[in-house]
Amino acid sequence: MALCGSICDVLEEMFPLHKAMERDNVGLLIGYRSQPVQKVLLCLDVTSKTADEAIEKGCQMILSHHPLIFKPLSRISGETPVQDTVYKAIRNGLCIYAAHTNMDVSKDGTCDLMAELMGLKNVRPLCEESEAKPTVVGRIGVLEKEISLFDFLDIIKKSFKVSTLRYTGSNDKIIKKVALCSGSFDGNFAPLLAQRPDIYVSGEMKYHDVLDAFAYGLDTVLVGHYESEVIYKEALAKRLKAKVPDTEFIPSEKETPVLKSR
């Protein structure tokens, strides 16, 4: 059985806290580093549902991608879902840890996992900048061979286990160079315009950002915010188990996307 602090140290070696984007809230959010941890639940979001799952499975810690505490809390009195979940975690002795944009930008993080799922080669950061403090989230790479956008969409559907996609571009457009970003597009077009990919894949974009991208001649594929990031759970659970063998890492089974499509 490892201590919470030992698991934090392993996570911060993989995904250094200083790499998080400005105003992101990452690291140990609830709990003490000295707490013994036998089981860790991995999820995208800490909600009442995933907290209950962790409690039911006898976990002492939850590792999430999105921070449970993002906006400052002035009270914990159950008036909001976040307050209620924070109180539930404290009451049941759950440590809560978030690895968010520091995971997105780091090697083998969510963006690299997206690239791997799509079969991209020669993957590199979308913007060449300081490794110490990146300011742009994303990757760019190439497919092994040119394919049509129509066939590329099939790869995306299978890779991210989705039945529908939102996209721009002609179905017969040839795709080779692919840029990507997990989660949400941040509105910064400069790196994309400098790289000029054939297609940009992300979880979601604001409507007017899609309009701007189209005007710039940049076609996009949106797979869903949840779908672009939930992929981290199984992969990271295996990596953590190899580094902390006396602790069990359990990908959430009850977490599901809130948004549905048909």
Could you tell me which CATH number the domain at 107-222 has?
3.40.1390.30
Q: What local confidence, expressed as pLDDT, does residue 133 receive?
A: 79
Per residue in 189-200, pLDDT (tens digit) is: 999 999 999 999
Same fold, 2-103+230-251 and 107-222: yes
2-103+230-251 topology per CATH: 3.40.1390
Per residue in 79-118, pLDDT (tens digit) is: 999 999 999 999 999 999 999 999 999 999 999 999 999 9
Computed over every residue of the chain, the mean pLDDT equals: 95
Q: How far apart are CA 236 and CA 224, in angstroms?
A: 20
pTM score, whole prediction: 0.94
What residue spans define the domains of the chain? 2-103+230-251, 107-222
Per residue in 150-170, pLDDT (tens digit) is: 999 999 999 999 999 999 999
